[in-house]
Amino acid sequence: MTRLAGVLWVALVALVAGAGAAAAEPTVDLTGTWHVLIHYRDDTAHDPQQMRWDDRLWVFQRDAKGLGWTEYAIVVFEDETGRFKGLGGSGARRVEGAWEPNPVQLAQIKSGLEYNTRGTKSKTLRGSDAGGWSSGARGGSPAAANVITYSENWSIEGLPTKPVFTRDDVLGSASAEPMEGRTQYVTESIEEGGDLLRGKFERDGTRHGTFTMRRSGAVKVTEGSGKSQSQRMTEAFFQNYGGADFFSPAELQAMKDGAAAGAAPKDGGKELRQKVREEIERKTREQGVEPSLVEPQIDKLTEKISSMLLEGKSPEEIQRALSASSPRP
């Protein structure tokens, strides 16, 4: 009897532990702003194995009408490193590959991004977290054979533990078979206390990949300052990472000793300037910024540091000078 009681006790403990584990499954509250990053391969592309990326902003709001879902298709970062080629010109295009936000970009996601209003879409979904949310298809059957209709239905199921976001669209007329498409984001894991979702992405059966959905700060429409993305990125970089931070006193002393040895002055300081520039470019890349996008600022900083080294100024004097006049675009 005692042995039986022990077995029952173990079974009861296991049952309670299992129930506790189920109750502790991570959940998510969609209300707020999210940055959605997609990595995918396109079966219809010239190179189907090439990894590609896309991103957008989703904003969810709950009110008496239901669940509002707004999508901003054009996301604007101050630092566009790794995202686009040809910044600042009309020929800018998305960089191929699986772009991931660098530390500067992650910080902006957390504080809040900007968006361009072009391509914005919004739906009001009705339902509940338990039963699912749906916007319902808009528009009915065409009134005539020559009338073409387009409708979209946005839906969310699986809340609050494994949400599935689905977009169904239909284009058709009374005289032709409708063309249907589906885009779906299937959550597989919830992390960081509900602020990070990861899962599978698929669109129209031809694009396959993954998505990362990260909670963001409040968004705002891009201010349209007239500056190119490269100019905005440059400003952000040099405002947060001044010239005084590039070299430690020990590094400056080592370069000063090298210049004093006589190798650099014989060629007018050319070799020293090259070493300084290479080090600045290396440190720039460490901060997630492509040196070619801040070349004028690197030129100025290279000349300033090299000149002071050749003049024999101490590391402390150089750092004070750089702190007093950090380069700006």
Higher pLDDT, 87 or 206: 206
Q: Which of 112-116, 146-150, 303-307 has the lowest mean pLDDT?
A: 146-150
pLDDT range class, residue 51, cuts 50, 70, 90: very high
pLDDT range class, residue 139, cuts 50, 70, 90: very low
pLDDT of 153 > 80? The answer is yes
Q: What share of the chain in percent tops pLDDT 90?
A: 41
The per-residue pLDDT for 328 is 40
Higher pLDDT, 248 or 122: 122
The per-residue pLDDT for 130 is 94
Residue range 190-215, pLDDT digits in tens: 999 999 999 999 999 999 999 999 99
Alpha-carbon distances, residue 217 vs 109, 122, 124, 292 (angstroms): 6, 19, 22, 30
pLDDT range class, residue 254, cuts 50, 70, 90: confident
pLDDT of 123 > 70? The answer is yes
Tokens representing 100? 């991931």
- Rounded to an integer, the average pLDDT of 123-130 is 96
Q: Which of 170-179, 213-222, 249-258 has the lowest mean pLDDT?
A: 170-179
Tokens representing 89? 């010109």
Q: Rounded mean pLDDT of the chain? A: 80
Alpha-carbon distances, residue 15 vs 12, 26, 65, 95, 220 (angstroms): 5, 20, 41, 51, 49
Residues contacting 53, CB < 8 A, separation 6+: 37, 38, 39, 40, 94, 97, 98, 99
pLDDT of 269 > 70? The answer is yes
Strand-pair partners of 67: 62, 125
Please state the pTM of the whole predicted model: 0.61
The per-residue pLDDT for 67 is 97
The per-residue pLDDT for 207 is 95
| Upper half-sphere CA count for residue 211 (Cβ side, 13 Å) | 27
pLDDT range class, residue 37, cuts 50, 70, 90: very high
pLDDT of 264 > 50? The answer is no
Residue range 287-307, pLDDT digits in tens: 666 777 677 777 888 888 888
The per-residue pLDDT for 186 is 98
The per-residue pLDDT for 102 is 94
